Structure 1
Amino acid sequence: MTLAFWIMKILATTLGETAGDFISMTLNLGYYVGFGITFAALLVILVAPISARKFYSPLFWLAIVATTTAGTEISDMIDRSFGLGYLSGSIILTLGLAISLGVWYLRDAKLDVVHVNRRDTETLFWIAVVFSNSLGTAFGDFLTKPIEKGGLNLPRDNASLVTLGLPGRCPDAVHVEAAIKDGRPAGVVPRQSNGCRLCRRISPAQFCPGSRRPFAQQGDMQGQPRMMKH
């Protein structure tokens, strides 16, 4: 189960990153239009898992792809269209992630991604995921882009090693518990059975940018080079 989760995470992240670049760069629509398209699609897609009465795995992974795609556009728009650069973009997105998690904690007195039993809490979960995915793109670009463009100019292999080390600094970052309960992985149970809306044994790694960026590097390498575009 753990291996299967991370394989799906790699595929979903790579697909989202590539889709974001395809919309803004390959189709030459730019980051503003790309953001409008991907964010509108994200809002529509998130309605399904948030309004559903039980957990559906396809809806969850579709939402992950949507948040990754929109996160790519958000990061590129801040870094390039707004001209704030990769470091400033990373700082802004870090603050956004911290605020969203802070609001979640103040409302629930905990950050529990195992048993989410209210729609408002699940909404905060997805907001935090969008910020974390955007931060993953911005931070990865900061590591790999040339120094004259505001990056550290690290080779992709070295940047991947740096970001692969970050999840280990996040609480329970690579813990995906494998067990079976009513024919489902532990925590993935019908919402109506115990009121749980987002029951999954998925750790705070979802909010750690380092858990995303090594996979997003694959999307960068498969697509065309990133260019300054508005």
Structure 2
Amino acid sequence: MDLSERQKEIIDIVKVNEPITGEKIATLLGFSRSTLRPDLSFLTLCELVIAKPKVGYFYNAHKVVPFIIKDIKEKKVEDVMSVPVIVSSNTSIQDTVIKMFLEDVGSIYITENHQLVGLVSRKDLLKTVIGKMSIEEIPVSMAMTRVPNVAYIFSSDSVEVATKKLLEHEVDSLPVIESNKGDEIKQLKIVGKFSKTVISRLFLAIIKNEM
């Protein structure tokens, strides 16, 4: 069952303002009561909201929360991903370390000609620094984990699939690769990052809707 954006707005309004009349909902959304009647009827039949004559509409958390969980699971990664931190493979280890701390991230993705070629973590950089190498001269490509040993996901993958892969590989984040139309993967263009922070935000959305 998929809800329209307007139906989702109605549920949010009812949650915050219950009990609330259909007329009041229509006013808040800027529509006529007749325009919203099909939406309200649908939400009532699905028991996402409860209608009480002469009182108004009530939020039904027991029905809404499972729907929200299902909706989040099926969302595409491209709908929730964050901005990746990227450097080119010829960037020095020193500059990469500086960027990592300025951006406050646990890993940085490495590219050549805008294509993913590797990943470097705090642990990788720490090993290099401890080794007393000339980090201002050595490129980060000497310290990175190279593709194909880097796990990644596609922008068209579901949040559920991405979360399973994140746990499977026991990492804090995964680079998001632009989905290819063909079956053969020829390019690994990075378009985002899927991380434990993203999952935490989605989990918080569920908690807020339970309150």
For Structure 1 versus Structure 2, the TM-score category normalised by the shorter chain is under 0.3
Highest Rg: 1 or 2?
A: 2
- Give the TM-score, by structure 2 length: 0.24
- Give the TM-score, by structure 1 length: 0.22
